[in-house]
Amino acid sequence: MEDIKNKIEELRNTLRYHSDRYYNDDAPEIEDYEYDMMMRQLKELEEKYPQYDTPDSPTKKVGGKADNSFAPVRHNVRMESLQDAFSREEIYDFEKRVTDVVASPQYVVEPKIDGLSVSLEYRDGVFVKGSTRGDGDVGEDVSGNLRVIHNVPLKLNKPIPFIEVRGEVYMPKKSFDKVVDRQLINGEKPFKNPRNAAAGSLRQKDSKVTAGRGLDIFIFNIQQIEGAELNSHKDSLDFLSELGFNTVPFYKKVDTIDDALDEIDRIGEARGSLEFDIDGAVIKVDDFEQRRNLGSTAKYPKWAVAFKYPPEEKQTKLIDIEIAVGRTGVLTPTAVLESVHLAGTTVSRATLHNQDFINEKGIGIGDIVTVRKAGDIIPEVLCVNEHNSSSVFKFPEVCPSCGEKVIREEGEAAIRCINPECPAQLLRNLIHFCSRDAMDIEGLGPAIIETFVNVGMIKKTYDIYNLNPLEIANLEGFKETSANNIISSVESSKNNDLSKLLFALGIRHIGAKAAKLLSDKFKSIDSIMNASVEDILQIDGYGEIMAKSVVDYFATDSAKELIQKLKECGVNMLSTNVVEDSRFEGMTFVLTGTLPTLKRSEASEIIESFGGKTSSSVSKKTTFVLAGEEAGSKLDKANKLGIEVIDEAKFLEMTK
């Protein structure tokens, strides 16, 4: 029995972990189907061994928890989860439980949208509050972000005294593709699927970011209402449409459970062609009086059930493996397959993740493999069913885009190309090169850079310094003034400090601060290019990985060519940082809060001009904490460690 108890506890801990990753971090590590099967196993064990059942079990809980980033909202009507079913037999079991209580029920069948569940509240027809589901009882206030979603009406077609509705915020597939493209351009980790993209976008601190993500919403339930009497779910959905809500699509009222199953099959066949993701279909008892008689469990309403479509798997032949170079330099393998119909679409390509995954599965060209299309947009190869290849596939040793030698850093699964002039990475590198913290070339934003690349005006990074104002002015949307402004900004960037150039190069692991340390230590680009790992390790704050990354970067022929071309264009290659005196030598300052007159960047420059350095975190090595208004946890930690805290007036006195 102790083994059973331990198994139950292990399942609970695993489910809690994955629930937190899914609901609160928007970063799932397993597919929904795997999670559902673990939840089912736990529920069966708790029913079989009730002595080990506890009220805090994941089987009793709904969704996630309220995020501390937003104000909590307590739901007057609990936002319940749904009981899952995975077979026709379980749907018949649901019908029996219903008909044991009520006679001749009718049902409404609707798709189960894969997104983030929210509540919208209206008074006198005007939107007043919106919140996430959270744990069902307490969610988070995301009113500002919901307001910018196109299909959230700010004013209803009728001034109904009060209504609270429940809906699902989702990201259409087209919007998802655009968001992922932007993330890849910016070197960010892309969202795993549209559901996580929707959840992450709705929880943004800046509603402008949410507005730019192309979110949408379907409304599927009335939680509370004043000023109207409704008796059935079908009538309520029709009424919601009249009010101006974008209701859940193709809902259908049926008379029998067999009709409901036919509708589930129809929705399942259509799901591959939909512009949004669904992860099942929902059957609901239509009559509200019958619903009240049926009631709810601690977690689920007894009048509804969600049929979850199982992830479809099929076998096919792996014809080839293509290696693509992403905009961050990572080499990604894609399986080219004999076409197979899967989850409503024709699949001929699938992800293979990385070399470790290929090695683990023993995958080779010509093998018969099993392919699944579950939570991700791109199907994945699950396993090899029949080995027809003579060997496991190996990644190339050189980049397929530029021919430079690829590297795999210790502790990383990714194999990448670090050539700064690699054509596959050009756009992302150019955007970074021109950004504010790098070369700060005003006027060369992502859209304009992309235009210049598309028309062939920029093929290499150093082409930025050979731009012709007349050619720019002749482009659609440009004028002589804007062209001259761009050229002026380009010319001005030639005088930047060496540290900004180093950061602009996009060397792996080298941020703006690390670039500054490198510049201050070696003073010139030539000295840095001739430095060894041991030389660079003498910089306080540099470790083995950072030092090796710098040496590896400048060892490439492409990096040497880029630096030479930039020199010929007149770009500064020297540190312009001048130490007035060394009064702060050996001292470390931490800046926190808002200073009365100085920006943090200005204070940092003053500290460095006197030989000191700044740090982002407080430790025993910190000499002073320079604190302004609304100083937070850094000030608390400084007081706890006994670090001297100074204000701006004291700091300026020290610099006289």
How far is it, in rounded angstroms, from Cα 357 to Cα 371?
14
- CA distance linking residue 76 with residue 59, whole number of Å: 22
Per 3-state DSSP, the chain is made up of helix, strand and coil in percentages (nearest 5) of: 40, 20, 40
* Secondary structure element (H or E) that encloses residue 16, with its range: helix 2-19
Would you call 654 helix, strand, or coil by DSSP?
helix
Bridge-partner residues for 109, per DSSP? 252, 283
68 token code pair: 């501390």
Q: What are phi and psi of 547, to 5 degrees?
A: -60, -45
Answer yes or no: are the C-beta atoms of 560 and 529 closer than 8 Å: yes
Token pair recorded at residue 314: 């099929």
Cα 389 to Cα 575: distance, rounded to the nearest angstrom? 55
Spatial CA neighbour of 307 closest among 19, 92, 34, 483: 92
Cα 88 to Cα 118: distance, rounded to the nearest angstrom: 29
Residues 149, 71: Cα–Cα separation, whole Å: 20
Question: Residue 325 gets which letter from DSSP?
Answer: E
Q: Which residues pair with 168 in a beta bridge?
A: 117, 218
CA–CA gap between residue 82 and residue 62 (Å, rounded): 9
State the Cα–Cα distance between residues 530 and 555, nearest whole angstrom.
Answer: 9
Active site residue 112: yes
Residue 169 pairs in a beta bridge with 116, 217
Q: Cα(458)–Cα(473) distance, rounded to whole angstroms?
A: 15
3-state SS class at 428: helix
- Report whether 609 contacts 578 (CB < 8 A): yes
Measure the CA–CA gap between 654 and 609, rounded to whole angstroms: 13
Residues 6+ apart with CB under 8 A from 145: 130, 201, 202, 203, 204, 207, 210
Instruction: Identify the DSSP state of 311.
Output: P
Q: Which amino acid is at 361?
A: K
Let me know: does 434 contact 336? Beta carbons within 8 Å: no
Q: Which residue has the tokens 């050996």?
A: 586
For the chain, give the number of residues: 656
Is 155:125 a contact under the CB 8 Å cutoff?
yes
The H or E element that residue 426 is part of is helix 426-434
Q: DSSP letters of 489-514?
A: HHHHHTTS-HHHHHHHTT-TT--HHH
C-alpha–C-alpha distance, residues 579 and 581, integer Å: 5
Count of other CB atoms within 10 angstroms of residue 179: 23
Which is nearest to 133 in space by CA: 199, 68, 79, 69?
Answer: 79
50: helix, coil or strand?
A: helix
Exactly one of 61, 112, 284, 308 is catalytic; name it.
112
* Degrees to nearest 5, angle at CA 196 with 194 and 198: 65
Cβ-proximal residues to 622 (8 Å cutoff; 6+ apart), any chain: 588, 589, 590, 615, 638, 641, 643
Which residue, 33, 62, 41, 43, is CA-closest to 296? 62
Question: Which active-site residues does the annotation give?
Answer: 112
